[in-house]
Structures are given as C-alpha cells and as structure tokens.
Amino acid sequence: MRKLDVFDTTLRDGEQSAGVNLHGSEKVEIALQLERFGVDIMEAGFPASSQGDFKAVQEIAARVKDCSVAGLARATKSDIDAAWEALRGAALPRLHLFIATSPIHMEYKLRKTPDEVVQTAVDCVRYAAERFPVVQWSAEDATRSDWDFLVRIIREVVDAGARVVNLPDTVGYTTPAEYARMFQYIRENVPNLAGVKLSAHCHDDLGLAVANSLAAIEAGVEQVEGTLNGIGERAGNAAIEEILVALAIRKDVYQIETRANLTETALTSKLVAKLTGMAVPANKAVVGNNAFAHESGIHQDGVLKNAETYEIIRPEMVGLKSNRMVLGKHSGRHAFKEKCEELNLQLSEQQFNRLFNSFKALTETKKEVTDDDILALLLESSIEEHKYELEFLHVSYGLNETTAALGVRGPNGEVIREAATGNGSVEAIYNVIERVVDTPIHLIDYRIQSTTGGRDSLAEVYVKVAYHDRVVTGRGVHGDVLSASAKAFLDAINRILIKERLDDEQLVTMTAQV
Ligand SMILES: CC(=O)SCCNC(=O)CCNC(=O)[C@H](O)C(C)(C)COP(=O)(O)OP(=O)(O)OC[C@H]1O[C@@H](n2cnc3c(N)ncnc32)[C@H](O)[C@@H]1OP(=O)(O)O
Ligand SMILES: CC(C)C(=O)C(=O)O
Ligand SMILES: [Mg+2]
C-alpha cells in the first residue's frame, strides 16, 4: 500500500465558485470539519486577496492543529508576506505559490517571457522557503504547457526549495492517459525530484476531473487535490469524496491508503452545501440524495435479498445510517444530545443550549425534525455578529400590490418598524428592509429550497445582493418562506456591514503603516 496526501481546497478554489462568498466564521466551521474528515492539508484561502480572507486564514491557522494549513500566493513578495503573516501561527504552515507556465498565460496574462517566468518563480520560491517549512509550487495551466519547459522550471524551483510540485489541469482540458503520461515524463526527466512530492489538481470542464485525478494517482503522484462536492471555478474541481471512495472501494486496483475518515463524508458534504448555498444534485455520486436510493422493483428485490446486488458502497462507509431515530416534540435533551453526537457536531455547552432551544421551537410547528433541519438550525445560529435581526413580519397579499410591515432589531437594540408595498410578497419585504437600512440594495439572485419533503419542511433561502461594488450572499432559514426570505436579505446586509468594518480596520492599519 502506498500513502497518498489529500489536499483539500474547498475553502480556496471551492470558494471561487461563482456566487459563493463564505463568511469568516463559516470558513472556520468548514475547516474544523475538514480536520475531522482527516485531510492532510487544507488550503484555507488566499490571504493577499482581501482582509476578510486574511483574517479567516489566520483564525483557521490558529485553530486547526491536526493537519497542515496552506494559503495561496501569486509569485510576488507581497503575496508571500501576507500569506506568512496569516499562517505563521499554524502548527504546520504551507505556502502554495503559483505561476502560469503555458504559452497563452505567459504571453497574454502575465506578459512575461518564459525566461522571466522561470526567474520570477525561482526568486519567489527562494524567498518563501526562507519563511515556510513547506513550499508547494504550482505550474498553473500545466496541461497546456510545453513539457520540456515544465522540466526546466520544475528543476529550478526544486533547487530553490520547493518541496511539493503541483501540475494542475487548470482549465479541465487533459484526458486520463495524457495526464498520466505527463507525470511519467516529469518523473523521468527532472533529475532532482528525490524527496519531492508531485501533486494532481483537476478541473471538471470536460467532466473528467475525478478520472484524471485517479489516472495521476495510478501514475504515482503522492498528493491529490480537490474540493467537497466538486465545487470550484467554472464546472468545479475534482470531487474529493468521489476520489476517496473510489480509492477505498477499488483498493485492489489502486493500492492506496489515506488518513481520511470516510464516515465524516456525508456530514462534511452537507455542511459545505449548506454554507455555500450550492445544492448537491440528487444523482451525484457518493453524496447525492439518491446515491443510496433504490426505486425500481427488480433493484429493490435484489437489495432486499442481498444489498450487494446493487450497492457497491455501504451507506455506513460514508457516515449515513440505515436506521434512524425520530426527533420531535416529545424528544428531550438526552435524545437530542445523542443525535448531535451521532452527527459529530462539536458544540460548546452554550452552543448546545442555543441549538436545543431552536430545536424545541421548531417542534412546535414541525412533526419530525431531520438531520438536515438540525444542520440548518445550527448554521443559522453560527453567525453571532448580527446587526439587524427580524423581530416580526406581516404581509397582506393583493393581486397587483402586496403590503409588508416589518419590525427589525437594529444595531443599537432598538426595534425599527417600517412598511412598504411591492408587486409580490418578497419584493414588498425587500422594499421595507431597504427603508429600514436606508440604503438601496440590488437583488441579483434568489433561490429557495426545502430542508425535507412534507408540508412542515423548513425553507432555506439564499440571496445574492449587490451594494455599491460589493457582491455578497445571505442565507435565511425558517418554517415560513417569507420569514426565511426576510432573514436571508438581512443576513446579506449584516455581511456587508461586517465587510465594511473589516475594510475600515484595514484602512486604519494601512494609514498607521504609512
Ligand atoms: C487558477 C487559479 O485558481 S488562480 C487563483 C485565482 N483566485 C483569485 O483570483 C481570487 C482572488 N483574487 C483577487 O481578489 C484579486 O484578483 C487579487 C486581489 C488577487 C488581485 O487583484 P488586482 O490587483 O486588482 O489584479 P487583477 O485580479 O485585476 O489581475 C491579476 C494580476 O495578477 C497577475 N498575476 C496573475 N497570476 C499571477 C501569479 N501567479 N504571479 C504573479 N502575478 C500574477 C496578473 O498578471 C495581473 O497583473 P497586472 O495587474 O500586472 O496585469
Ligand atoms: C492555483 C492553481 C493551483 C489552481 O487552482 C489551478 O491551476 O487550477
Ligand atoms: Mg484550481
């Protein structure tokens, strides 16, 4: 058996998914779950890209102890300095330094000659290796790069101190056989790779990300990169859970071992789906709702006689229980605590009490509280810094004009009451909220889903809003769709205010430095 390092980039490449914008506390929550999932390295963000990401990476670095925490940097000293400041408190800090090596990226994007790219890469790796114990270097767009140029630049960055070399399929262009050949070519032609790990990082533009990653693993790479649920730029990254389950189920073929706790898969996937607002398609491998569902008679008959007739993955392997305990109005703290433990939720006493109260309130209106409901309630209560909170809501619906009246608790604890009209109920509510905060806010996207089937399901609303040049997302959960809509809009406004405060702090710091 060969050991493979798992590099998770849900919090960096995954967050680059269009429409995803995680709050710092949400990134920390995902990071702690990734640690329980047992990834070897988590890429927590891109510290130089914003003050918010810098702070999130810094907090993750301080709190995650059982795996390496990495940050991304372009080949510039200021990006490396920002990454070092954010990561220096980590138990195992790693810099992920990248520069593009394909002709099209070098000429049009970087406007550098190949010689200049080599020189920049070498200078930056050397500079980074004086600070970081591990420097991972990536040749962006490696699969559209000249292989002999890759051989040359890899030899030089390894001499300068790179300990991991990642060859990403940045635009999802390669095929399994070609990607495997590229790694073989690099192994055979770069003379100084002893002690250096090669890494695969695939995108899914042609739907080949997982197949390409597995081909690279068969070709001998020591590290694989991906994201939970395959989220990421454009069509996304390789779905890390699919790679891990394929390696486990086909151990006979791959002969690979990882540290991953596969029983944490379902929970990690749900957490990422809920916090990013990117729902997992029902038919998605490993974590889709239908992944273990049998619908047709012949299949059901087979599964009843022997599950292995149609099930190659046991649900328990990825943390799904086949039996279930019903939680509802008559459940007490013990049963609820057991459920939280079963879901592997790590809660302080205060968080547990808050969650238990939300659960009890929900049982007033919902007969059976599901795992998804509990997770939704937990995430709803995870952002403690609420500036505006919904107090009450009345909506009077009319065919061409609807009136909404709201009470919102503001930053100073006062309840602001306002009313407005709109063409529909949600528009009327959003018009009132705009009045409450006295700022025009443009709604770009609105999505709604239910946590479960049935009439008493919770509604989860995701919104994307623009305010000046900022685009933020918000999430709201409630038994009623209109209250969930109001909460999502207020959540987005709260995030704008938090970002504004962070920017003000950054301005003060920069002014102080000048
Ligand atoms: C393949 C990947 O996933 S790469 C990671 C992509 N992730 C992101 O871009 C998310 C975060 N990005 C951001 O917030 C912003 O793009 C920032 C803060 C990093 C930079 O913002 P800006 O300074 O406004 O630059 P902008 O994004 O418009 O352009 C990127 C610049 O970086 C340069 N650049 C790109 N990659 C690299 C690199 N690896 N090394 C050095 N410079 C690079 C580009 O050539 C361009 O430089 P130019 O301004 O001299 O033309
Ligand atoms: C930053 C690099 C590694 C990347 O995400 C890519 O090339 O896809
Ligand atoms: Mg990528």
CB of 434 shorter than 6 A to ligand 2: no
Helix or strand (DSSP H, E) at 43: strand 41-45
Q: What is the mean pLDDT of residues 363-371?
A: 81
pLDDT of residue 370: 81
Whole-number Å distance between alpha carbons of 6 and 247 = 12
Which ligand 1 atom lies nearest to the CA of residue 110?
45
What pLDDT band is residue 514 in, cutting at 50, 70 and 90? very low
CA 273 to chain centroid: 8
Would the pLDDT of 144 be above 50? yes
> 130 burial class (0-12, 13-18, 19+ CB within 10 angstroms)?
exposed
pLDDT of residue 384: 57
Class of 2-276 in CATH: alpha beta
- State yes or no: 13 annotated in a binding site: yes
Whole-number Å distance between alpha carbons of 507 and 509 = 5
Would the pLDDT of 37 be above 80? yes
Q: Are 268 and 33 in contact (CB under 8 A)?
A: yes
> 24 burial class (0-12, 13-18, 19+ CB within 10 angstroms)?
buried
What pLDDT band is residue 342 in, cutting at 50, 70 and 90? confident
Q: For all residues of the chain together, what is the average pLDDT?
A: 91
Which amino acid would we find at residue 457?
A: S
Q: Give the distance (Å) from ligand 2 centre to CA of residue 447.
A: 29
Phi, psi of 462 (to 5 degrees): -115, 130
Would the pLDDT of 4 be above 60? yes
DSSP letters spanning 200-241:
EEEB-TTS-HHHHHHHHHHTT-SEEEEBGGG--STT-B-BHH
Residue whose Cα lies nearest atom 5 of ligand 2: it is 13
- What is the best residue among 109, 138, 225 to mutate for testing ligand 2's pocket, by most ligand atoms within 8 Å of CB? 138
- What is the best residue among 49, 94, 98, 231 to mutate for testing ligand 2's pocket, by most ligand atoms within 8 Å of CB? 98
CB of 74 shorter than 6 A to ligand 1: yes
Q: Which fold has domain 389-503?
A: Double Stranded RNA Binding Domain (3.30.160)
Whole-number Å distance between alpha carbons of 464 and 462 = 7
Q: What is the mean pLDDT of residues 444-463?
A: 87
pLDDT of residue 510: 47
CB of 140 shorter than 6 A to ligand 1: yes
Q: Where are the beta strands (DSSP E) in 133-196?
A: 134-140, 164-169
CB of 20 shorter than 6 A to ligand 1: no
Helix, strand, coil share of the chain (percent; to 5): 45, 20, 30
Residues surrounding ion ligand 3 at CB below 5 Å: 13
- State yes or no: 21 annotated in a binding site: no
Instruction: Say which range, 68-72, 100-104, 260-264, 380-384, has the weakest mean pLDDT.
Output: 380-384
CB of 265 shorter than 6 A to ligand 2: no
CB of 99 shorter than 6 A to ligand 1: yes
Whole-number Å distance between alpha carbons of 277 and 475 = 8
Whole-number Å distance between alpha carbons of 79 and 514 = 19
pLDDT of residue 338: 83
**Closest alpha carbon to 270 in 377, 348, 386:** 377
Q: What is the mean pLDDT of residues 469-491?
A: 90
pLDDT of residue 258: 98
Tens digits of per-residue pLDDT, 348-362?
A: 898 899 899 889 888
pLDDT of residue 140: 98
Tens digits of per-residue pLDDT, 428-447?
A: 999 999 999 888 899 999 99
What pLDDT band is residue 365 in, cutting at 50, 70 and 90? confident
CB of 13 shorter than 6 A to ligand 2: yes
CB of 140 shorter than 6 A to ligand 2: yes
Distances (CA, A) of 60 to 240, 350, 509: 20, 21, 21
Whole-number Å distance between alpha carbons of 81 and 335 = 49
Would the pLDDT of 364 be above 50? yes
pLDDT of residue 108: 97
Phi, psi of 312 (to 5 degrees): -90, -15
CB of 98 shorter than 6 A to ligand 1: yes
Q: Are 238 and 230 in contact (CB under 8 A)?
A: yes
The residues, ordered by sequence, that sit 6+ positions from 387 with a Cβ below 8 Å of its Cβ are 410, 411, 493, 494, 497, 498
- State yes or no: 203 annotated in a binding site: yes
Whole-number Å distance between alpha carbons of 227 and 168 = 14
Three-class SS of residue 84? helix
Residue whose Cα lies nearest atom 3 of ligand 1: it is 13
Tens digits of per-residue pLDDT, 194-211?
A: 999 999 999 999 999 999
ipTM beyond 0.90?
Answer: yes
Whole-number Å distance between alpha carbons of 45 and 53 = 6
Percent of the chain with pLDDT over 90: 69
Pairing type for strands 402-409 and 389-396 reads antiparallel
Which ligand 2 atom lies nearest to the CA of residue 98?
1
Helix or strand (DSSP H, E) at 486: helix 481-513
Q: Which ligand is nearest to the CA of 137?
A: 2
CB of 201 shorter than 6 A to ligand 2: yes
Tens digits of per-residue pLDDT, 162-186?
A: 999 999 999 999 999 999 999 999 9
Pairing type for strands 459-467 and 470-478 reads antiparallel
DSSP letters spanning 256-294:
EE----GGGHHHHHHHHHHHHT-PPPTT-TTTSTTTT--
Phi, psi of 67 (to 5 degrees): -155, 165
- State yes or no: 201 annotated in a binding site: yes
Q: Give the distance (Å) from ligand 3 centre to CA of residue 305.
A: 44
Neighbours of 473 (CB within 10 A): 23
Which amino acid would we find at residue 145?
A: S
Q: Which two tokens stand for residue 369?
A: 């509280």
Which ligand 1 atom lies nearest to the CA of residue 76?
41
Q: Which two tokens stand for residue 132?
A: 């970081």
